[in-house]
Amino acid sequence: MPLVYFYQTDGGLNSNSEKSNHLKKSLSQALSRFYPLAGRLADDLHVDCSDQGAPFFEAEANCNLSEIITNPVPKNMNKLLPFHLEDVQSLGMAVQLTYFRCGGTAVGLVVSHKIADALSLFLFANTWAAVARNEDGGGGDVPQPKFEAAAIFPPRDVAGFKPNTGIVKEELVTKIFTFPASKISDLRETYSTAGERRPTRVEALSAFLWTRAPRRKPKDPARAAIVRISFGNISRLAIAVVDGGVMDGGFELLQKVREAIQAVNGEYLAGLKEGNKHLNFMKERMARATKGELVTFNVTSLCRFPLYEADFGWGKPVWVGSAGLTYKNLVTFMDTANGDGIEAWINLKKEDMEKFEADLELQQFLSKKK
C-alpha cells in the first residue's frame, strides 16, 4: 500500500539532516509499538518479529514541490517511494524522504497489505507523526495497537487462494480523475430511488464509473461481470455480480453493491470464524476470473479515512497521493485535500484508458484543470 505525503517548506527552520534525524528517531519509537512492521514476512504465513527494522532512504528531487502536486502524474509518484512495489517482498514497511529544491519534502511510505489494512496503515502513520510532534516521544492520545486478529479470525489453510489475481505484467496506465462535490451530488440525485436511502458518494461514483469503463467481454458472453468493493477494518471483499450484457445506467450495479455490503453483517462475520465457506467462495471466483469467465471491476475507497492528519511537526500535508499500480481495472477513491471532492485513481490498460479519457459524458463531471 503506497502513500506519499507532501509538505510545504517549514521556512528553513530545519535543515535536511535535521528533518532526517527527526523522522528516523520518531520512526524507531513508533515501530516499538507496531513491532510487526519492523519484522519480515516468512513464507506468507507469519511475521518474524526479530526487529530487523524498516529501510529508510533519502533522495533529492531536481524540481519544486509545486511541479509535482499541481498536475500529478501517478507513474512519477513511484519515484518518491523506496522500492518498486513488486520488489518489496518480505518487508513489513519502508520509507523514502525526498527533498525538493523549494524546501518542501515528501514522505513516501509503503506498508505490506499482507499484514495491515488501510485503517492500520493510517493508525501507524498518524502515530508516527504524533510521536514526532512530541519531544518526549509520546504519541499523545493516539490509541495503542492491538494484535489480536488471529484470535478473532483463526488462520486457515489458504492453498489454492491467489490474492494476486488482477496484478499483471502488461502495460497499465494510472490517471487521476477529480470529481468536485457539486458533481458528486448530481450523481447521487441521479441514482436516488423513491423509498430507498440516498446513495453514498462511493456508491454513486462506483456505479457511474462502471458504466463509463471500457468493456472487455468474457469468453462466454452469457457470463456475468463482477464488481469487487474492498472495505472495512479487517479487509474483506464485498462482491456484486451483474449481468455483463445489461446496461441500465448503473442502477442494477448500485443495488447489487448495496446488497453485497449489507450482506457483510454479524452472521457473515460469524461464518468467517468457522469453516472455509468464504475462502472456498473466493477461490472459486478468482479461478473463474483467471479463466476469463468473469470480467472484474475493482473499487476500493480511502474516503473518510484520516488521510490528512499526519503532522510530523511541519504542519499537515498539503496533498497526499498514491502511485501507479500494476493492478488492472482498479479504482481507488481518495478525498481531495479540501475534503469536498473525490479523486479517483484509475488503473486501466493503455488502449482502454485512451477510450475512457475521451468519454465526453465523463468529462462533464470532472473538475476543470487550472
What CATH number corresponds to the domain at position 41? 3.30.559.10
Residue 137 has pLDDT above 60, yes or no: no
Domain hosting residue 33, numbered range: 2-147
Please state the separation of Cα 136 from the chain's center in Å.
32
Residue that terminates a domain, selected from 147, 181, 201? 147
Please state the separation of Cα 257 from the chain's center in Å.
19
pLDDT computed for residue 142 by the predictor: 65
* Phi and psi at residue 229, to the nearest 5°: -110, 115
Task: Answer with the residue of higher pLDDT: 243 or 98.
Answer: 98
**Contact status, residue 339 vs residue 183, Cβ threshold 8 Å:** no
Q: Smallest Cα–Cα separation from 4: which of 106, 134, 91?
A: 106
Q: Which helix (H) or strand (E) holds 289?
A: helix 277-290
- pTM value is 0.88
Q: Which residue has the cell 517548506?
A: 9
Task: Answer with the residue of higher pLDDT: 8 or 278.
Answer: 8
**Residues 139, 194 within the same domain:** no
Domain annotation covers residue 326: yes
**Residues 205, 82 within the same domain:** no
pLDDT computed for residue 145 by the predictor: 83
Domain annotation covers residue 157: no
**Residues 130, 221 within the same domain:** no
- Share above pLDDT 70 across residues of the chain, in percent, rounded to a whole number: 81
Q: Smallest Cα–Cα separation from 264: which of 225, 295, 232?
A: 232
Q: Which residue has the cell 446496461?
A: 247
Q: How many CA atoms lie within 13 A of 2 on its CB side?
A: 26
pLDDT computed for residue 42 by the predictor: 86
Task: Answer with the residue of higher pLDDT: 116 or 97.
Answer: 97
